[in-house]
Amino acid sequence: MALQTVAADQPCPCGSGQTFAVCCQPFMSGLPAPTAEALMRSRYTAFVVGDYAYVERTLAREALVDFSRAELETTAAGMDWLGLDIRQTEKGGPDDAEGTVEFVARFKRANEAGLHHERGLFRKENGQWLYVDGVMNPKGQPVHVTKVGRNDPCPCGSGKKYKKCCGA
């Protein structure tokens, strides 16, 4: 799969409000993320552009045990990522060794809208933040919403009806 490109002066796909060059690009190019949230945002951006090598590089040893790049690529094929919402962070700062980031990633696949809600655990090793594990559906909310009605609000958060937004 070819990587999608994001121009350096374009808004970062992670939704931080910064340009890609200032936000996630430096981490995806090799600089260590300063916080667990910055790593989470850059991992989301890696999913958006299809940089699964970066996703793999930012996994802790124990997370690599069950990781399959081929399975990830198959699962992610045809997904359009619609946005990332960081709900809460605990620790995970520059001087911390661990942290958690609760997030919701919205997507569309085969004209079905969905969301991935997770509370991710991150750990810093040798100055590098890594993804360790996550709890899906941390607050009992649906993890995947299927068959959004044409007149329902769009799950991307635009405030428009689905038929006038992502369903168009």
| Tens of pLDDT, residues 97-154 | 999 999 999 998 888 888 888 999 999 999 999 999 998 876 655 444 445 666 766 6
* Model confidence pLDDT, tens digit, residues 63-93: 999 999 999 999 888 889 999 999 999 999 9
Q: Kindly state the average pLDDT of the residues 46-57.
A: 96
Distance CA 23, CA 33 (A): 10
pLDDT at 156: 58
Burial (CB < 10 A; 0-12, 13-18, 19+), residue 23, is buried
Distance CA 148, CA 139 (A): 21
Residue 163 pLDDT grade (very low, low, confident, very high; cuts 50, 70, 90): low
Q: Is the pLDDT of residue 4 over 90?
A: no
pLDDT at 146: 47
| Per-residue exposure over 26-48, b if at least 16 CB sit within 10 Å of its own CB, e if not | ebbeeeebebbbbbbbbbbbbbb
Residues 6+ apart with CB under 8 A from 44: 13, 14, 81, 84, 103, 105
Q: Is the pLDDT of residue 167 over 90?
A: no
pLDDT at 103: 94
